[in-house]
Every structure is written in structure tokens, then in C-alpha cells.
Structure 1
Amino acid sequence: MRNRRIFLLMCTILVIYLGLAAKIGYYQMVRGQEIARKATAMRSRQIELKEYHRGDILDRNLLPLTSTQVCNAVYCLPSQIIEYYKQQNPSYLMNSDEDILFAVAKEIASLLEPGDINDIYRKILRGYRMGTPMVRIASDLSRSEVSKINNSDMTGIVVAPMLKRYRDDGFCSHIIGYVSGGDDFRGETGLEKIYNSVLNEYSSPYQELVSVVDARGAVIEGLMFKIRMEQEKQQAAVVSTIDKRIQEMVESALDAGVEKGAAVVLDIETREILALASRPTFSPYDLERIIEHDTRSSFTNRALTSYHPGSLFKIFLTAAALEEKVLDLDDRFNCQGSYTFNPEVTISCWHEEGHGNMSFEEAFAGSCNPAFIEIGLRLGRTKLMEYAQKLRLCDSTINGFDYKSSSFIHINPGQPALGNASLGQQGVMLNPLQLSSLIATIADDGYWAPPSIVRYTIGQDGKARSVAGLEKEAVLSRDTCRKVQRLMEQVVNQGTGKTASIPETPVAGKTATSQTGVFKNDEEILNAWFGGYFPADNPRWAVVVLVEEGESGASDAAPVFRKIATGMVNCFSMIPQSNTNFTK
């Protein structure tokens, strides 16, 4: 009987333990995540780690171009501050909440360098009235400011990291653009403006600042804060064609020695813009100072600004003349140092002594002005304009981007005007992107397509939406383009473009030095150009470099091209004969 009771007792205890184990297992396995979330919520405060609660702009490989730079920011918890002050000092019970917050704003301002009391108060009060748990007061804190705040005995004040929307060095600023300040921020320029509605669809939850709180929900002083970040699905984003690695190379090459200028890298196969940069650049955080004091037109995107293209126009003229069969590679020319239209009008060659008797291949490699004036006269004004339209020289289309082009080709009647236009001067204005498109057409055996800068957008639902497809159009014969390709390769191997050559990778290109008609210290200001593609035997990338106020394309622009091309070759470990597309 006694053994039976013991057995029943043991069974009862076992059942109880099994029941408890089942209950614990249920809470751990089934409701574990839910309970953890609730526990975290009880001791969490929402915090926006991004400077703007807004979708990001990404490169072609989904690397962020925005929200990449971390800085320290100071936040406050308005409701907790008011509760604390009233509990710690009964005299504050007679004060309004606004008075307490103003006193706090004054104390915070004393810790910042400089601190605007009214601005800080406005932010805290607005956040308090809207029920915002945490309000960002200031960002980009110095070490000294962080130290002062951390060493202060203020309650409800937190220093936490923040993702700045833009880089301080103005990286990619002419493409990305910037948003307006204030509470109702919106895109003002660039992709920020064009895709403002897409980027504002961003609805990912705010990150959370996790702290230890007491029974009243107040943060326990002296204990560390932790930031809880959840992996979010990609949404409300703009995926550009830019390759961040190449953009970095281009900007670095310009920074190394170009005060004013631009560079463009175009994928020949897809016509996607892999890099586009302009100098000087600007920081979106320094707009007021630039607007007030800038004398270098920092906001101007020189890659989309029109200039006389100079001898780069000779690439087009050669293609048109060959296509129209008014020029043969075996034709010979005689340069005496100038071309005389009449006793009053003479156009000089850059080589004052003259090139003498030479083949057209030599004239192209040496960029002889009189030879190209004669070719332009052979082609004629009407045909030149027809081919300019056929090759879309002035086309301003960029898939995924809006801009107003000031490019034009307008040739006045008369041989001198046609001769000047044939040299890419009077009556001809094109921008670096349009010239890179021309070079890509030649390198692609005569196929033209508009460049693009956005691949697709990602909506709030996480679905991708394509911006535009690729449709190529044949505008030149393959035979003509192959001839021009060989000529451009000879420029780098034997002519004025030797300074653009890179080891073990064949390059094709053309130098140019264009006149501006503007004088400084009694000398005319010149713009230096180099446009080309590589590898020459398997064209993959077209690059155009502009250096304002340079001496010559060979001495100023070609070395920048070489630096960009060398960096790309090294980055992608390119094998010249490979058909691999090294950009995704």
C-alpha cells in the first residue's frame, strides 16, 4: 500500500514536471520571439539613425551612395526629462512643460559649439508636442562636444551614432543632388529631386535605442544604451548605373590635378554611365557658404555643360566624310602651317611650322587643322548637319535623368564658318557626356543608343521597376567605324595621344585643345580634352576628360584618362582579349 502511494506521488510529480516543461517549451519555441519583442519594447525608445527617413540611392551593385558616413548625434527624451525634473524638484511643478524644456535647451546649448538655444528649444518642443520618443538635437558632434555631454549629469540626453545622408567631400553630389532642410525635406536637385516620390515611400521601422528602464519606464541612469538594428528588406530605393568603385577612381583622378573640369565613363555595350564627375564639387552641408561666396560655379555639372569640343569633333567629321565617300584613308594633304580662305581670313594649324605633305592617317594622328578644314569643305555644310543629326550629336536624352542641354551645331554660311566648325570651334557646342556617346558609337561599330543613369527603382512593396530598356540604332557602317577605330588607336600609339597609353592594354583616343575666346592676362584661355576607349581590340569603356583652362589635351587631359583607365584595369584584373563584361 505504501509503495503504491509513493508510485502515485512520483507519477504526479512527473506529470507536473512534464506540464511545466511543455509550458516552458511552448513559450520558448512557439512564443519566444513574440515575448522577446514585447520585453524589448518595454525597455526601448525609437530612434532614427538616418539623417533623413528616406530611401537610399544605390550603385549598380546595390552599394549605397547615400547614408554611408557615420557621425555622433545628440538626442533627448522630452517626456522623460519633464517627468524627472518634476519629481526631483517640486518647485518645477509650478512651471509649464515649455519652461522646463527651455531650461533644458539652454543647458544643452552650453555643451555644443556653438549652441543655438532657440533652435534647440524649437526642435525639443516640436518633438514633445508630436509625441516623438526621442528628438535629434544636433549631429556631427566633435570629440569635445561628445565628451562634455557624456560627462554632464543631464537626464534624458543620449549620444548615439547617425548615418549622414551625404559624404562631407561631396562625393557624387552632381548626380545625387541634395534635399532641402527643415521638417518637410524634399529633393531639390539631381536624383533626389527626380525620384523624390519614390524615395519618400520609405517606410521601414525606425531603429531602436534599447535601455534599461525602471517600473515607471524611466531610463536607469549610469547603464549603457544599446542600438538594436534589424535587417530590413530593400525598399524605396533608386538603383543607379554608377559603379561606386569607378566613380571613386574618377573623382580621385580629378582631385589629383583638375581644379575645373569633368570626366565621364560609359559602358560601350549597355551605354550605362558608370561614372560622372565634375570639379569643383560641393558639399550639401555647405550650401549657404557656397551660394554666398562661390566664384568657381561649384553647382555647375560640367559633364553636362556645353563647350567647344575642338579636335574631338574631328572624330565625327572623319566618320561622316568616310561614310559619304568624300574621303579615303589614302588621301594626301599638304599643311604649310595655316589654311587661307581669302586674303583677310586665315586659320592657323597648331603646328606653326606646318606638317608638310602627309597621308590622312598622319593628319589624323597629328590633328592637322588645314587637313580637316579641307575635309569639312569636301563634306559641305548640308551633309555635315545631316550627319550631326543622324549620329544624335546634340541629343540630350539620359534615361533616368532630366537636364536641359545647351548643346548645338549651328554653322553660318560661308567657307570660313564651315572651316571653323570642322575644327569643333565656331558654331559647335557639345558636352562631355555627348562626346563620350559619340566615341561609344564609333567603338560599337556604328550603333547609337542614349546613355542611362538609372537601372530601376524599388517601390515600397520591394518590387523592382525598370526605368528604360536598351534599344540600339545603326547610324554608321561597320566598315567606316573600323577605319576610325584604327585611326584613334594610332593617335595613342604614334600621335598626340601617347600620354594616354597604359601598359599591356591597347587604347584608342583623340586629344583636343579648344579655344574659348576668353582672355586672361592677354592670353586666351584654352580647354584641354581627351576622349577614348579601351581596350582598343575589344572595346568595353569610353572615357572623356575635360580640363578647363589647360594647356593641351596631351599634357593635361590625357594623363587623367590614363590614371582612370589604369585604375579600372587594375581593379577588374582585365585581360585585353576577354569578352567578359567586368561591370555587373
Structure 2
Amino acid sequence: MNIFQQKRLVLTFYVIFLLFVPLVIHLFFIQVLQGSEYKQKALEQRTLKVALEDIPRGGIFDRWGEKTLTLGRRELRVVVFPEIIPDKEEAVRRLSPILGCSPAELAKYVTGRPGYLPFKLDSRQLRQIKELEITGIKVEEIYFRYGSAPLAAHVVGHLGPITDNDQLAKLNNLSEKKYQLTDLVGKSGLEYFYESRLKAGESRQVMRAYVDVYRRLLAGLGIKKESQAVTGRQDVITTIDWEIQKTVEKVMDQKVQKGAVVVMDARNGDLLAMASRPNFHPANITQALAGPQDALLDHCTSLYQPGSVFKVVVAAAALEEGLVKASDTFVCLGESEHLISCWHKPGHGPITFEEAFAQSCNPVFAELAIKLGPAKIIAYARAFGLEEQTIIGYPVPRDNRQNLHLIGEPYNLVNSSIGQGPVLASPVQLTAMMNTVVNNGVYIRPRLVKGLRDEGGRFVSYFPMGRSHKVISSETARELKRLLSLVTSRGVGREAMLPYYGAAGKTGSAELPGGTTKVNAWFCGYAPLDKPQYIVTVLVEEGISGGVTAAPVFREIMEGIILPTR
């Protein structure tokens, strides 16, 4: 073989080699990198499948990671594989009397794709259906995401269909998880904020029928129940205390038609309960949309005029700046006051500052606001978190209506001193403000989500407790706590007082537009008095007053959740 032939042979080898390289790489991708995906596709082609959960998603759990806020439940249901039922008419005839439905109604479920029937079964029906031994019909437990009365519905949020191909493309770009137009996705709350983390690639458990090309059951395989250890879902672990949330919602169902309640752990700023009314059921959004306009609104994070609860900020600023002492005397002329009238129309007459705080005397706080000036009030309100809308783990969009600078605009200062006019705050913000006083003047950012947990029970993301900063001195905080205790012992908030434990806090009655005598009634406080466990804020919309309407709700909730200290 001459040199020319050798070179041509070598060249031919390299050409063949180069032609085979892409093929080898392609086979590597198919068999190694994408092997599991193609294996799954091949399995789907030769089997029929029914997912044994209605919505394959991660759970939204309480602070211990044990109980779901959705109160998911398991129910026995009839699973049908229509393609392998030998005689559908006979199956319908025998099954309909057991299920208590007409043959016509049942017939539509035994055609088309595999699935489960919408009829709950009792033990008698279970036994009778098993005795039928109809090929293609089984009874299995189905896991339903939502129970009859889920907790913290506004926090959890709700699901809805994918609206169009643009949204589908956007969802598929969020992560490696694949979406289809038939999927349900988060539309609000934690379901929305953690959509890509909650979504599961498939159900944890499925019923699978192994069939041949003619859709006949394969001998030896038949219909099997299979479990998947890894489905791609993650769980959201919140700071919500399941028992406290349940207690709060029970009280609200009885006493609050419209409003909000927030409960915070006085030690660390964790939100232990958040409940809004009117309520809705996440599994029945159509009914919610047909109800009150604000049924889907999270009132706990919505902005309201806080009324006299804002006097805590004015009092803190005046005490910290040395402009007032508890024994300083003022004069209240009631409705004859030139700056602002007092709710007590005859007037309190000569009144000390501590009495003015306990009785929520408007003219005294208007006078203090003028002495302080808007700049100082704005600075203290900001330090108390009344412009901080961030909740750790719960990224609600910012509401730009909250603007403390408006306090400094002409004619706004006096109204702002009593929490009216441009002053806006959410129940969560007011709860964090009160917690600052309880924690000796240290503000702690509220937290709602601890982190995300994988299917092995390990945290894959963790949200540490909130940042803190000093707002007022410990001496000022101590004096404020004493003043807050006077509100419940001899002031306008006596209905909030708890036997044995004691309580402290501040009432608020924010006027509503339209000339109505109704107000947004507030009580924001804490208990026990000596060693506070919880901060609770109650908002009752369209109430009588903070002391009459909100304070009793505060007391009842505290009585239900407070831990014994004897």
C-alpha cells in the first residue's frame, strides 16, 4: 500500500469518525441525560393512569410542619378505566344503584379518559363495589387538597386555570417543571408566590393499568397502585400556629363579619395567625366571586386609617423627646375645642397626660403633635414600621397609597395626630408597632414563612427571623407599657381586660366617609401583662367603637389562646 492510499484510508477513517461523533453524542443525551424522561414517556404509552390526588402540589404547613392549612383530606372513590371495562352498559346498570345515582348520570363517567367518580363512599358501598369484581373498576383513596373549612384562606390563596398560551410559556420558563393548559396554578397568596416550588411533576400515588396495543390488560401485571418517592414538589412551612389560627377563625365567624385579626409571637415577630373576613373557600372561587366584593381581599395586609391606635406613636415621640411627662396637665373642652373636637363631647376638663392616654383624648394629642412637628412624627412612625410593608416570606405587592410624608402637608398634622387623614396602616404593621413597645423599644420585622422543605423533609430554603432596630429607649417603652395598661384598667379599653393574666393595649375608632355613625373599630394589645406572649390586633369594620366592638373580640381571642402561667 503506497503512501497515497494510506493517507486516503486515514482520511476516510476520520471522516467516518466525525460522522459518528454527533450520533454518539445524541445517543448519550437520549440514553443518559434524558433517559428517565424517555423511559417515563414509554411507560405512559403502554399504560393507563389515574392520579390518586386531585391537585399534585406541595403542602402549606403550620409552624411545626405537621398540619396543613388547607386541611387536605382522603376519601374513598371509585376509580374507572373506561377503555378496559368489558361491558360498560352492564357496569353502569350494576354500579348506579350502589352509588345512588341514575344510569344516565353515571354513564358519562365510564367513557373517555381514566379518572375517579365524584361520589364519596361509605363502608357498605365499598364492600358492594368490591363484590362486583368488574374489570377496570377499582376503589381507592383519593387525596383532596382542600378540606371543608381550610384555615387562613387569604394567606394560603387559591388556584385557577392557566388563561392562555402566553401564561403557559411564562410558567414553563419559571423552572424546569413542565406545565400544561389543563393545570391549576396559584392565583393569590402563598399558592401564587411559591407556584414553581409547590408544583409537582406527578402525583405521589397512581393507579396504573398495564395494557397492550389493543387496550387489553397484560397478564401478570393488570392494575397496580404505585408510589413515587420524588415528584419535584416542595412544602411551604409557615409561622402560623394551627391551633391559634383555628381559635381566631372560630371567634371571627361568630363576632366579625368584616375585618381582620393578626396574632404575633411577642418573642420574635412571627405571625401566628392571620384571618380576614369576609372569608372564602379556595376550592370554590366561583361562589366567592359572586359574594362580597372584598371576599378575596387579605384585610390583614390592607391599609386602613388606624384611628387612635396611632396615638401610641405620638405618645412615644413626645415621651422620647422629653416634651411630656405622665403628670403634665392639659385642658379638654370636648366639642368646643378649636383644633379638633374630642369624642367626649362635654370635654374631660383638666386632664393629665396619662389620663388623656387612657381616655384617648383627641385635643391633647393634637397639641402634642403641633409641639413635635410633622418631621418628628414621620420619623418615629417610620421607625415603628408604619411604612414597612415587607413581611418575611410573604411578598405582597407594595401599596403606594401609604405615604407618611403627607403628614407634613398643609392642614394634615392635626388629623394625623389621631390616626385619621393621610395616615394609613395595615393590621400587620400595627401589630409589629405594638410588639416594638413590648420588646423594650426594639422593632422586629414580621415573618410569615420559615422556609421551604423538600420531599425528604429537609429545608432547601430558609427565611431567618426579621431584622431589628432600636426605636425608643427602654425607659420610654416601659412608660408606654404602663400607659397601655391604664387603657384596659380604667380607660376606654376595659372590655379587653383578662382576668388573672391582665392585658394592655390601645383602642381606635376611625371615622368612615359618607356621614355614617359607624367606624372602623380597632384594638391592638398584648397579654399577659407581666410577661407578654402574644400581640393581637383586631379590626372590625363598620363597628361602634374600638372599646365597644373590637376590645371584647380581643379578650375572647386571648382567652382562647393564652398559655397558662401559673
Structures share fold, TM-score greater than 0.5: yes
Q: Distance in 1 between matches of 2:499 and 2:131?
A: 57
Deviation track 1:351-393 (CA, whole Å, cap 9, x = no partner) reads 1111111111110001111111111111111211122222221
SS where residue 186 of structure 1 aligns? strand
Q: Distance in 1 between matches of 2:283 and 2:57?
A: 17
Structure 2 unmatched runs, 5+ = 1-46, 162-180, 210-216
SS where residue 159 of structure 2 aligns? coil
1:564 pairs with 2:542: no
* 1:76 aligned residue: 80
1:290 pairs with 2:270: no
1:166 pairs with 2:140: no
Change (3 A) 1:175 1:496: same
Amino acid at match of 1:336: L
1:251 pairs with 2:249: yes
Q: Distance in 1 between matches of 2:446 and 2:494?
A: 28
SS where residue 316 of structure 2 aligns? helix
Amino acid at match of 1:308: Q
Q: Distance in 1 between matches of 2:264 and 2:545?
A: 23
* 2:413 aligned residue: 418
Q: Distance in 1 between matches of 2:420 and 2:466?
A: 32
* 1:436 aligned residue: 431
Change (3 A) 1:238 1:67: same
* 2:513 aligned residue: 517
- Report if aligned partners of 1:238, 1:457 keep a CA contact under 8 Å in 2: yes
Change (3 A) 1:233 1:249: farther
Q: Distance in 1 between matches of 2:288 and 2:297?
A: 12
Amino acid at match of 1:471: R
Change (3 A) 1:574 1:175: farther
Alpha-carbon offset, residue 167 of structure 1: 2.6
Deviation track 1:96-152 (CA, whole Å, cap 9, x = no partner) reads xxxx79x979x979965898789747xx6344xxxxxxx224266799998997898
Q: Distance in 2 between matches of 1:431 and 1:537?
A: 27
1:53 pairs with 2:56: yes
1:497 pairs with 2:493: yes
Of 354, 357, 365, which aligns to 1:364?
Answer: 357
Q: Distance in 1 between matches of 2:358 and 2:468?
A: 30
Change (3 A) 1:324 1:144: farther
Q: Distance in 1 between matches of 2:193 and 2:105?
A: 34
Change (3 A) 1:548 1:148: farther
TM-score, normalization by structure 1: 0.75
Q: Distance in 2 between matches of 1:118 and 1:305?
A: 48
Alpha-carbon offset, residue 525 of structure 1: 2.9
Of 518, 531, 540, which aligns to 1:538?
Answer: 531
- What pairs up with 1:111-130 in 2 under 5 angstroms? 112=101, 120=109, 125-127=112-114
Q: Distance in 2 between matches of 1:115 and 1:67?
A: 33
- What pairs up with 1:228-239 in 2 under 5 angstroms? 236-239=234-237
* 1:463 aligned residue: 458
Q: Percentage identity across aligned positions?
A: 33
1:397 pairs with 2:390: yes
Amino acid at match of 2:348: H
- What pairs up with 1:317-336 in 2 under 5 angstroms? 317-336=314-333
Change (3 A) 1:364 1:184: same
Alpha-carbon offset, residue 398 of structure 1: 0.6
Change (3 A) 1:352 1:238: same
1:195 pairs with 2:188: no
1:311 pairs with 2:304: no
Q: Distance in 2 between matches of 1:265 and 1:234?
A: 33
Q: Distance in 1 between matches of 2:154 and 2:128?
A: 37
* 1:573 aligned residue: 564
- Report if aligned partners of 1:510, 1:530 keep a CA contact under 8 Å in 2: yes
Amino acid at match of 2:356: A
Alpha-carbon offset, residue 430 of structure 1: 0.8
Change (3 A) 1:562 1:119: farther
Alpha-carbon offset, residue 207 of structure 1: 5.8
Taking only aligned residues, the RMSD between alpha carbons, in angstroms, comes to 3.7
Deviation track 1:62-108 (CA, whole Å, cap 9, x = no partner) reads 22223533444332023431xx23xxxxxxxxxxxxxx79x979x97
- Report if aligned partners of 1:266, 1:274 keep a CA contact under 8 Å in 2: yes
Deviation track 1:131-185 (CA, whole Å, cap 9, x = no partner) reads xxxx224266799998997898965334443332123334211011122257312
* 2:484 aligned residue: 488
- Report if aligned partners of 1:235, 1:458 keep a CA contact under 8 Å in 2: no
- Report if aligned partners of 2:523, 2:537 keep a CA contact under 8 Å in 1: yes
- Report if aligned partners of 1:112, 1:145 keep a CA contact under 8 Å in 2: no
Amino acid at match of 2:513: G
- Report if aligned partners of 2:201, 2:231 keep a CA contact under 8 Å in 1: no
Alpha-carbon offset, residue 471 of structure 1: 2.4
Q: Distance in 1 between matches of 2:303 and 2:119?
A: 39
Amino acid at match of 1:64: T
Alpha-carbon offset, residue 320 of structure 1: 1.2
Amino acid at match of 1:337: G
Amino acid at match of 1:389: R
Deviation track 1:290-325 (CA, whole Å, cap 9, x = no partner) reads 22x223521111111111100100111111111122
Q: Distance in 2 between matches of 1:112 and 1:179?
A: 30
Q: Distance in 1 between matches of 2:158 and 2:320?
A: 45
- Report if aligned partners of 1:50, 1:67 keep a CA contact under 8 Å in 2: no
- Report if aligned partners of 2:51, 2:203 keep a CA contact under 8 Å in 1: no
1:350 pairs with 2:343: yes
TM-score, normalization by structure 2: 0.77
